[in-house]
Structure 1
Amino acid sequence: MAWGWEQSDEAHREVYGERKHESSLSHELIAGAASFAGMKAWEDHQRREGKPVSHAFAKEALAAFVGAEVDKLVETKGLDEADKIRARRHAKENAERMYDEHYVDRQGAPEYDPNRYEPHERFNRPVDRW
């Protein structure tokens, strides 16, 4: 089951917070944190570019950002290959759900346009690491 904004944000806080080098983190928790951090990195990149893109392109690009974030976390948190695969799949599902929830369902956006639609409000909170 894919996680939404709240669960992914909480996972991000837990994984990037105080438990920096703990290897017992589950692939679900890693996926939640990676989907949140990957979504933020993708948002920042797209807003710097300032160009509208289709939802299909946005989701493909977002999957790449999220996958890279999973890879970073797997290296530092010590997951095995099977958990890495599960974390990548779960993170991609999370990110797509978060994207659809915010841009398609909530704002009714016909495409991703950083000039017309604001990022999710959870990205406005102060954090130790993005």
Structure 2
Amino acid sequence: MNSMFESLKNNHNLVYGSGGSSSDQGSSNLSHEVVAGAASFAATKMFEDRQRKKGLPVSHSFAKKALSALAGSEIDKIFETKGLNHLDKEQTKNEAIEKVKQGYDESYGQQDQWSPESQSPIL
């Protein structure tokens, strides 16, 4: 796992706990950076798992659009379940989308397309 995804995984653990379920940490202690990182990690994990199961390559453009949508919906879910009224939801969503695109580019951007055969799991 590259260092960026390691950082995002740590954020995910802060928000969800290490088991992937809701964390006992108070939601008022969570920053938009941590929440955005958690959503980016969750989006990447969902995308990789789904695409590996399908076994089909996809273009970088499609992958980034799918990851952006997954990150955005994950932010909606986190805000709904954690009651993060102290954070700006749109700022957090935009940051999550940027993080997931940056992580994708760092991990897969050098390839012609994302393919389960040519890339080992990063998560």
Instruction: Identify the residue that residue 126 of structure 1 maps to in structure 2.
Output: none
Question: What root-mean-square deviation, in Å, do the aligned CA atoms of Structure 1 and Structure 2 show?
Answer: 1.9
Q: What stretches of structure 2 of length at least 5 have no aligned partner?
A: none
Alignment coverage as a number of residue pairs: 116
Note if contact 1:23-1:77 (Cα within 8 Å) is conserved in structure 2.
yes
Deviation digits for residues 56-99 of structure 1, max 9, x if unmatched? 11000111111111111111121239611111100000100111
Which stretches of structure 1, 4 residues or longer, exceed 6 Å deviation after superposition? none
In the TM superposition, 1:1-130 aligns within 5 A as 4-17=4-17, 19-20=23-24, 22-24=26-28, 25-80=30-85, 83-104=88-109, 108-120=110-122, 123=123
**TM value normalised by structure 2:** 0.85
Structure 1 residue 27: deviation in Å?
1.3
Q: What stretches of structure 1 of length at least 5 have no aligned partner?
A: 124-130
- Higher RCO structure, 1 or 2 (CA under 8 Å, sep 6+): 1
Q: Distance in 2 between matches of 1:71 and 1:109?
A: 31
Q: Distance in 1 between matches of 2:26 and 2:81?
A: 9
Q: Distance in 2 between matches of 1:81 and 1:59?
A: 29
SS of the residue corresponding to residue 110 of structure 1 reads coil
Q: Distance in 2 between matches of 1:63 and 1:13?
A: 20
Note if contact 2:14-2:25 (Cα within 8 Å) is conserved in structure 1.
no
Q: Distance in 2 between matches of 1:76 and 1:27?
A: 15
Letter in 1 for 2:77: K
Q: Distance in 1 between matches of 2:4 and 2:92?
A: 15
